[in-house]
Amino acid sequence: MAAAQPKRCSWVNVDDQLMREYHDREWGVPTHDDRRHFEFLILEAAQAGLSWSIVLKKREGYRGAFRQFDPGKVARYSPARIDKLAADPGIVRNRMKIAAAVANARAFLAVQKEYGSFDAYCWQFVNGRPRQNRWKSMRQIPATSAESDADGVVIHSSSSCPNNG
């Protein structure tokens, strides 16, 4: 008798092993590790305009290109290093996204300095507890929430935002 399949979100392509594993092992799993937070910041920014599957397939390339997702090392990347990464087939070769990753590393470090950790910063918006939504369809999911709106206000008004003059 075949094992029962776990319940999965509608966006998961069950024929794609990477997507299945990501969903089953990582999606919605709380983390308190700053390096993991930085990894997802980099990967999710790289996804803009692309499918998550494309980014997952390049994850190992990102791991190497971004020094195991070490924000301290990435923050020191030079324009020459950014140019070199823009030719790396192991990642999405978009110079603007790569430069944004470097800028995000610098902002990430500023948030760590200001809040003690990026984790402390993130979890303050939900009082340190995971949010459990019970959406029945993708249409029910709002584009923003009070927490995401508050997060955006803090980032844009914080000294950690590189766009803050």
Enumerate the active-site residues.
22, 44, 52
Using alpha carbons, select from 114, 118, 4 the residue that is nearest to residue 69: 118
**CA angle centred on 79, ends 77 and 85, rounded to 5°:** 75
Task: Work out whether the CA dihedral 87, 92, 97, 101 comes out positive or negative.
Answer: negative
Using alpha carbons, select from 105, 83, 90, 24 the residue that is nearest to residue 55: 90
